[in-house]
Structure 1
Amino acid sequence: MSTLLKCLSHTPLRGLNDPSQSIVDEVNTVLADARAEVEAFDPELIILFAPDHYNGLFYDLMPPFVIATDADSVADYTSLPGKLSVDVDTANALAKHILNNDVDIAISHRLQVDHGCTQTLEEMTGTLTRYPVVPIIINSVAPPFCPYRRIRKLGEAVGEFAAKLNKRVLILGTGGLSHEPPVPLLNESPEEVREFLIAGRNPTPEARQLRQQRTIETAKVYGRENCTQTPLNEHWDLAFIDTLISGRVAEVDDYTIEDISRQAGRSAHEVRTWVAAFAAMGQMGTFDARKDYYRAINEWIAGYGVVSARSA
């Protein structure tokens, strides 16, 4: 049994509102190195912690955690379409194990997933179907949120399960770091937007394009004085990364929702996927972790980071 972990920021704005070519090349090099490491590791199973951005989960039923036995990409922005190669038997067994460990998790036998799930899978494997995968969606954009100690406990239950598989397991966490795109809040939105947040599945191509264009337009001014969104916070991002790679994941129990939103932006809660990934890794025995890359990239509305860990 061996384990490899990769946690990456994602951004649907790659190729749509890029920073300088030198930064694009820098990120492409980091991603190519990460993918090469994944290919050399040749995982037998991928456990993928990811958020959703009101594409598969809505307020008509918004669980804190969902494990999918079947997942289909909505292909938003430039993400790949198609089904993921979900390992159904492992997904069902993992769901049972999580529930038996006193963590409540929902099960979806037909889940739609967006770039938050598929972009990192594509970047690390070149496709959505190369390796068997178990997707676990953690609510990261739709308040109210469960406390961070629950994220840690979810990850620990997953890691305990994975440690018994006797397989090469790749753990992926996708999302974050500090960022705040124009994601509406239910209690502050007009009725039309509220209806979308409650039951907005399968929008028309025109509606999806309009929504995506709003994000692109925000990215063009993000970080400037005329932008009202919370700016990127390099100091917060690097401190968070250090907490994880130095093996202090239990410290997230002291994180508060309000403080993270204020310091790093409302969508920074996507770091929940990183917390779950490192908590899972901690159950696989000792590990070596490192920061591969970090840069605050306004054009992508992303504190963009890549971190890795491998079982020792």
Structure 2
Amino acid sequence: MNPMLLQCLSHTPLMGRLHPGRDIEDEVKQAIQRLRESLAQFEPEVIFLFGPDHFNGFFYDLMPPFCIGASASSIGDYGCPKGPLNVPADVAVQCAEAVLAHGVDCAISHRMRVDHGFAQPLQLLTGGLDRYPVVPIFINSVAAPLPSAHRARLLGEAVGRFAASLDRRAVFMASGGLSHNPPVPTLATAPPDIAERLIDGRHITPEQRGEREARTIDAARRFAAGQSDLLPINPEWDRDFLDILAQRDMAALDALSNAEITAKAGNSGHEVKSWIAANSAMAAGTGGQYRVRPEYYRAIPEWIAGFATLQGAVCR
């Protein structure tokens, strides 16, 4: 069995912009440092990174449920690094072919644009965008209609089986969640100008991007102050979800409905499907011979997020 590692972490563009307090920030830094040290010690030869987008790289003019990048570049939003990821195109294309052969419909992009959902975990855990070869795997988590948790698990299963066929040290990494409900517009209720940006917002100006980011930061301030009608963070649901992953209960993951996730974890709680896919990949890649350890959790209103980290390793 090839060496494999599982790492999952929440992301937030508000880290470093709004401050929940030194003690909490120190906790988060220590949790991230544990992942960073494990990754460096593991010395990966390829990272399969599952993550979402926030209407920065994928739009309603063509919105796939899943997409694998054979080439990818970060747009550099919220101060994240900008520029190309180190994507091994041959591995990415082979991965897409394997996923399709497994019965999971998945698009491929030779010019994928990613935002902080991919760039932030790479920056936090590797120090940049190109330290290790990375296959970026997009999971639509905000643009209805959404793929199900079951389909996300099957996607991960296909990626895990493909990774097991490689003679490489592989990491399955997930970025997103847990429960959170930031002010992301929906196509059904957006005014015409915002709807047009959701359909094709690739060419917004730096000024427009700055205004958008400022609105998110302001919304987070009001949310942390208890002056917002956004759905609250749900620690009970988050901890139950982490318990399901720790128990490696794939049937319980399959049973999560989109309606439940929206109602209990928020409109952006669907980012947990990245975690589902990565855990499923680890299960398939190791033949179930792995252990999972949720390492950190805290509800952080200043970041509008239930913030968590998790690691998994092959059983010895």
Pairwise TM-score range, normalised by the shorter structure = over 0.9
Note the 1:275-286 alignment, pairs <5 A.
Answer: 275-283=276-284, 284-285=286-287, 286=289
Aligned length: 312
Distance 2:48 2:311 in 1: 15
Distance 1:222 1:194 in 2: 24
Contact 1:52/1:137 (8 A) holds in 2 = yes
Give the AA of the match of 1:268.
G
Q: Partner of 1:308 in structure 2? A: 311
The Cα offsets for residues 228-251 of structure 1, whole Å up to 9 and x where unpaired, read as 111100000000011012110231
Shift of 1:116: 0.3
Note the 1:128-147 alignment, pairs <5 A.
Answer: 128-147=129-148
Give the AA of the match of 1:293.
Y
Distance 2:136 2:76 in 1: 16
Secondary structure of the residue aligned to 1:95 is: helix
Distance 2:86 2:104 in 1: 25
Shift of 1:225: 4.3
Identity level (%): 47
Give the AA of the match of 2:292.
A
Shift of 1:148: 1.4
Distance 2:265 2:306 in 1: 9
Note the 1:252-291 alignment, pairs <5 A.
Answer: 252-283=253-284, 284-285=286-287, 286-291=289-294
TM-score (norm 2): 0.97
The Cα offsets for residues 47-102 of structure 1, whole Å up to 9 and x where unpaired, read as 00000000000000000000001101000002111100001000000011111111
* Structure 1 stretches of at least 4 aligned residues deviating more than 4 Å after TM superposition: none
Give the AA of the match of 1:97.
A
Give the AA of the match of 2:240.
A
Question: Unmatched 5+ residue regions in structure 2?
Answer: none
Give the AA of the match of 1:89.
D
Secondary structure of the residue aligned to 1:222 is: helix
Give the AA of the match of 2:296.
Y
Q: Partner of 1:209 in structure 2? A: 210
Answering whether residue 104 of structure 2 is matched by residue 103 of structure 1, we say: yes
Question: Unmatched 5+ residue regions in structure 1?
Answer: none
The Cα offsets for residues 230-273 of structure 1, whole Å up to 9 and x where unpaired, read as 11000000000110121102312211111111111100000000
Q: Partner of 1:112 in structure 2? A: 113
Give the AA of the match of 1:82.
G
Q: Partner of 1:247 in structure 2? A: 248
Q: Partner of 1:48 in structure 2? A: 49
Distance 1:96 1:14 in 2: 36
Distance 1:238 1:47 in 2: 25
Give the AA of the match of 1:301.
I
TM-score (norm 1): 0.98
Note the 1:172-191 alignment, pairs <5 A.
Answer: 172-191=173-192
Query: Mean Cα displacement is larger for which, 145-154 or 220-229?
Result: 220-229
Give the AA of the match of 1:252.
L
